[in-house]
Amino acid sequence: MSDEKNGAAGEVKVARHRPERLGDFAVVGSICCSSCCCCCCVHSAGGVAGALVGSAVAASAPGATSNVTDDERAASNHVIGVYWAALIAITTIIIAISVLTHDLITGVFIILFGGPFIQLGVSLLALPAAFTKTGAARQSGLRALGRITLIGFVGSVIGGVIMLGGGAVLLGLFN
Protein backbone atom coordinates (compact mmCIF):
# COMPACT_ATOMS: atom_id res chain seq x y z
CA MET A 1 0.00 0.00 0.00
CA SER A 2 1.18 3.41 -0.68
CA ASP A 3 -0.21 6.40 1.03
CA GLU A 4 1.08 9.90 0.57
CA LYS A 5 0.56 10.82 4.24
CA ASN A 6 2.43 7.79 5.68
CA GLY A 7 5.54 7.94 3.56
CA ALA A 8 6.99 6.25 0.49
CA ALA A 9 5.48 3.21 -1.19
CA GLY A 10 6.21 -0.08 0.64
CA GLU A 11 7.14 1.63 3.93
CA VAL A 12 5.44 0.38 7.08
CA LYS A 13 4.96 2.59 10.09
CA VAL A 14 4.39 1.07 13.52
CA ALA A 15 2.51 3.03 16.15
CA ARG A 16 2.43 2.07 19.81
CA HIS A 17 -1.02 2.20 21.34
CA ARG A 18 -1.89 2.26 25.00
CA PRO A 19 -3.04 -1.13 26.38
CA GLU A 20 -6.75 -1.61 26.88
CA ARG A 21 -6.41 -3.25 30.30
CA LEU A 22 -4.05 -3.40 33.29
CA GLY A 23 -2.56 0.04 32.78
CA ASP A 24 0.73 0.70 31.03
CA PHE A 25 2.63 -2.26 32.42
CA ALA A 26 1.30 -5.78 32.22
CA VAL A 27 3.70 -8.59 32.97
CA VAL A 28 2.33 -12.05 32.42
CA GLY A 29 4.44 -14.87 33.73
CA SER A 30 4.06 -18.34 35.00
CA ILE A 31 4.88 -19.71 38.40
CA CYS A 32 8.58 -20.25 39.06
CA CYS A 33 9.89 -18.31 36.07
CA SER A 34 8.72 -20.88 33.52
CA SER A 35 11.00 -23.55 34.90
CA CYS A 36 10.46 -26.75 36.77
CA CYS A 37 8.79 -26.05 40.11
CA CYS A 38 11.23 -28.33 41.91
CA CYS A 39 14.09 -26.05 40.92
CA CYS A 40 12.74 -23.18 43.01
CA CYS A 41 12.32 -25.01 46.29
CA VAL A 42 15.13 -27.56 46.38
CA HIS A 43 16.66 -25.75 49.35
CA SER A 44 13.46 -26.32 51.35
CA ALA A 45 13.28 -29.96 50.31
CA GLY A 46 16.94 -30.35 51.24
CA GLY A 47 16.26 -28.82 54.64
CA VAL A 48 13.37 -31.18 55.35
CA ALA A 49 15.39 -34.16 54.11
CA GLY A 50 18.29 -33.08 56.30
CA ALA A 51 16.00 -32.74 59.31
CA LEU A 52 14.63 -36.23 58.65
CA VAL A 53 18.16 -37.63 58.51
CA GLY A 54 19.09 -35.64 61.61
CA SER A 55 16.05 -37.02 63.42
CA ALA A 56 16.98 -40.59 62.49
CA VAL A 57 20.60 -40.07 63.54
CA ALA A 58 19.56 -38.43 66.80
CA ALA A 59 17.02 -41.14 67.60
CA SER A 60 19.44 -43.98 66.92
CA ALA A 61 22.46 -42.48 68.70
CA PRO A 62 21.43 -39.82 71.21
CA GLY A 63 24.73 -39.92 73.10
CA ALA A 64 28.39 -40.25 72.31
CA THR A 65 28.70 -43.30 74.56
CA SER A 66 27.12 -46.69 74.21
CA ASN A 67 25.74 -46.47 77.76
CA VAL A 68 22.63 -44.48 76.89
CA THR A 69 19.99 -44.50 79.58
CA ASP A 70 16.29 -44.74 78.93
CA ASP A 71 15.88 -41.22 80.29
CA GLU A 72 18.37 -39.86 77.75
CA ARG A 73 16.71 -41.73 74.88
CA ALA A 74 13.30 -40.47 76.03
CA ALA A 75 14.60 -36.89 76.18
CA SER A 76 15.96 -37.14 72.61
CA ASN A 77 12.72 -38.61 71.32
CA HIS A 78 10.72 -35.92 73.14
CA VAL A 79 12.72 -33.10 71.54
CA ILE A 80 12.44 -34.76 68.11
CA GLY A 81 8.67 -35.04 68.56
CA VAL A 82 8.37 -31.41 69.65
CA TYR A 83 10.41 -30.28 66.63
CA TRP A 84 8.22 -32.10 64.10
CA ALA A 85 4.97 -31.15 65.86
CA ALA A 86 6.02 -27.48 65.83
CA LEU A 87 7.02 -27.66 62.15
CA ILE A 88 3.68 -29.20 61.21
CA ALA A 89 1.81 -26.66 63.36
CA ILE A 90 3.61 -23.64 61.86
CA THR A 91 3.08 -24.95 58.32
CA THR A 92 -0.61 -25.55 59.04
CA ILE A 93 -1.00 -22.06 60.50
CA ILE A 94 0.61 -20.49 57.42
CA ILE A 95 -1.68 -22.44 55.09
CA ALA A 96 -4.77 -21.66 57.22
CA ILE A 97 -4.04 -17.93 57.26
CA SER A 98 -3.42 -17.89 53.52
CA VAL A 99 -6.69 -19.77 52.88
CA LEU A 100 -8.63 -17.40 55.14
CA THR A 101 -7.17 -14.39 53.34
CA HIS A 102 -7.91 -15.98 49.95
CA ASP A 103 -4.23 -15.92 49.04
CA LEU A 104 -3.17 -19.58 49.06
CA ILE A 105 -0.36 -19.09 46.55
CA THR A 106 1.39 -16.66 48.91
CA GLY A 107 1.22 -19.19 51.74
CA VAL A 108 2.64 -21.91 49.52
CA PHE A 109 5.46 -19.60 48.40
CA ILE A 110 6.26 -18.69 52.02
CA ILE A 111 6.55 -22.36 52.89
CA LEU A 112 8.51 -23.36 49.79
CA PHE A 113 10.90 -20.44 49.66
CA GLY A 114 11.15 -19.73 53.38
CA GLY A 115 11.33 -23.36 54.50
CA PRO A 116 14.88 -23.21 55.90
CA PHE A 117 14.06 -20.08 57.91
CA ILE A 118 10.89 -21.69 59.22
CA GLN A 119 12.96 -24.70 60.26
CA LEU A 120 15.43 -22.52 62.15
CA GLY A 121 12.53 -20.84 63.94
CA VAL A 122 11.07 -24.23 64.81
CA SER A 123 14.44 -25.26 66.25
CA LEU A 124 14.26 -22.24 68.53
CA LEU A 125 10.69 -23.16 69.49
CA ALA A 126 11.78 -26.72 70.32
CA LEU A 127 14.72 -25.56 72.43
CA PRO A 128 12.74 -25.18 75.68
CA ALA A 129 11.68 -28.84 75.37
CA ALA A 130 15.29 -29.86 75.96
CA PHE A 131 15.54 -27.62 79.01
CA THR A 132 12.63 -29.34 80.73
CA LYS A 133 15.04 -32.20 81.53
CA THR A 134 18.08 -32.15 83.79
CA GLY A 135 21.61 -33.48 83.59
CA ALA A 136 22.47 -36.05 80.95
CA ALA A 137 18.90 -36.10 79.61
CA ARG A 138 19.10 -32.35 78.92
CA GLN A 139 22.40 -32.82 77.09
CA SER A 140 20.91 -35.67 75.07
CA GLY A 141 17.91 -33.53 74.07
CA LEU A 142 20.16 -30.62 73.11
CA ARG A 143 22.37 -32.92 71.02
CA ALA A 144 19.32 -34.31 69.24
CA LEU A 145 18.03 -30.83 68.43
CA GLY A 146 21.51 -29.74 67.36
CA ARG A 147 21.80 -32.69 64.98
CA ILE A 148 18.39 -31.96 63.45
CA THR A 149 19.23 -28.28 63.02
CA LEU A 150 22.76 -28.80 61.70
CA ILE A 151 21.94 -31.58 59.25
CA GLY A 152 18.80 -29.68 58.15
CA PHE A 153 20.93 -26.59 57.54
CA VAL A 154 23.48 -28.61 55.56
CA GLY A 155 20.61 -30.09 53.52
CA SER A 156 19.34 -26.58 52.81
CA VAL A 157 22.77 -25.44 51.67
CA ILE A 158 23.17 -28.46 49.40
CA GLY A 159 19.66 -27.88 48.03
CA GLY A 160 20.48 -24.20 47.51
CA VAL A 161 23.61 -25.05 45.55
CA ILE A 162 21.61 -27.49 43.42
CA MET A 163 18.88 -24.87 42.98
CA LEU A 164 21.34 -22.17 41.90
CA GLY A 165 23.19 -24.58 39.62
CA GLY A 166 19.92 -25.74 38.05
CA GLY A 167 18.77 -22.15 37.66
CA ALA A 168 22.04 -21.21 36.00
CA VAL A 169 21.72 -24.11 33.58
CA LEU A 170 18.11 -23.19 32.83
CA LEU A 171 19.07 -19.59 32.21
CA GLY A 172 21.83 -20.72 29.87
CA LEU A 173 24.73 -19.28 31.84
CA PHE A 174 26.88 -22.35 31.18
CA ASN A 175 26.47 -22.36 27.38
* Residue range 57-70, pLDDT digits in tens: 766 754 455 677 88
Residue 170's pLDDT band, with cuts at 50, 70 and 90, is low
Distance of CA 35 to the CA centre of its chain: 17
Alpha-carbon span 36 to 98, nearest angstrom? 23
CB atoms within 10 A of CB 169: 13
Reported pTM: 0.69
